[in-house]
Amino acid sequence: MELDLTEPLNLLRRHEGEVRHFVALLATANTRARLTGPTDELVLWEDHVVDCAAALALLPQGGQVIDVGTGGGLPGLVWALCRPDVAVTLLDSVERKCALVGEMVQVLGLPPERVQVVCERSETFAARNREVFDLASARAVCEAGVLAEVLSPLVRPGGHLLAFKGPRAEEELEGGREKWDRLGLGEPERLGYDLGDKVRCFVRWEKIAPCPSKYPRRPGMAEKRPWYR
């Protein structure tokens, strides 16, 4: 399925001033610590912000969402600025990144009831915040099946998992084919979109049942021993 970007890009234009303020802060922060990588605001906008904004129409109305491995606040801060109806938790395990993102949240004037920054491993955070979010997302480079184990314990039944992926998405999903229910998930849906000459997609799962309590496993196990093998 191809994603229509008309609505999300219109939302981004509506909040462009606020988001460009964030991009300026992020570019400066990237000179102090490697949060996202680029220090050029144009590159950040075209390669990161627009990509994050593509998901705006997929966020639940008035929902609780979590950005796992937020790094420099992407996609979570773009979502918080463009979708003020949504409460966003920004989760990362690196203290330096969390401190800088927290500074940006304050400068941007985002209230704590709408945006929280949490410095913790997702596996330990999930143990205390099990199945409380309407949507969990990640732009991490690890495989889709690994992300599913990390994200599923955070999402309530009826909610969704959302992974940012590229042209290898179908290949990554092959290992979990017809096994996703082991994590309480339905079969994944691929939502494609183009950003200039880059072919991108979201992989979205619906949470159809509670995730078994054995997931997530201790840190590192999801990648070392994938659940579907």
C-alpha distances (whole Å) from 210 to each of 16, 61, 121, 142, 157 are: 38, 22, 21, 23, 6
Q: Report yes or no on 88 lying in a domain.
A: yes
Answer whether residue 100 is part of any domain.
Answer: yes
Nearest to 66 by CA among 117, 11, 15, 5: 117
What is the value of pTM for the model shown? Answer: 0.95
Q: Is 96 inside a domain boundary? A: yes
Domain count, the chain: 1
CA 169 to the chain's CA centroid: 16
Nearest to 143 by CA among 35, 228, 216: 228
**Domain-embedded: residue 17:** yes
The per-residue pLDDT for range 147-191, each reduced to its tens digit, is 999 999 999 999 999 999 988 899 999 888 889 999 999 999 999
Are 78 and 53 in contact by the 8 Å Cβ rule? The answer is yes
Q: How wide is the angle at C-alpha 28 spanned by C-alphas 89 and 70, nearest 5°? A: 20
Domain membership of residue 26 (yes or no) is: yes
pLDDT at 58: 98
Per-residue pLDDT reduced to its tens digit, 47-81? 999 999 999 999 999 999 999 999 999 999 999 99
- Structural domain of residue 191, as residue ranges? 6-211+218-224
Sequence ranges of the binding site: 69, 74, 122-123, 139
Known binding-site residue numbers for S-adenosyl-L-methionine: 69, 74, 122-123, 139
Spatial strand order of the sheet with 133-138 comes to 115-119, 87-92, 64-68, 133-138, 155-165, 198-206, 189-195
Query: Which domain CATH number covers 108?
Result: 3.40.50.150
Q: Does any domain span residue 229?
A: no
For residue 142, name the pLDDT band (cuts at 50, 70, 90).
confident
Is 1 contained in some domain? no
Q: Which residue has the tokens 């950040």?
A: 44
Is residue 92 domain-resident? yes
**Residue-wise pLDDT tens digits, 76-121:** 999 999 999 999 999 999 999 999 999 999 999 999 999 999 999 9
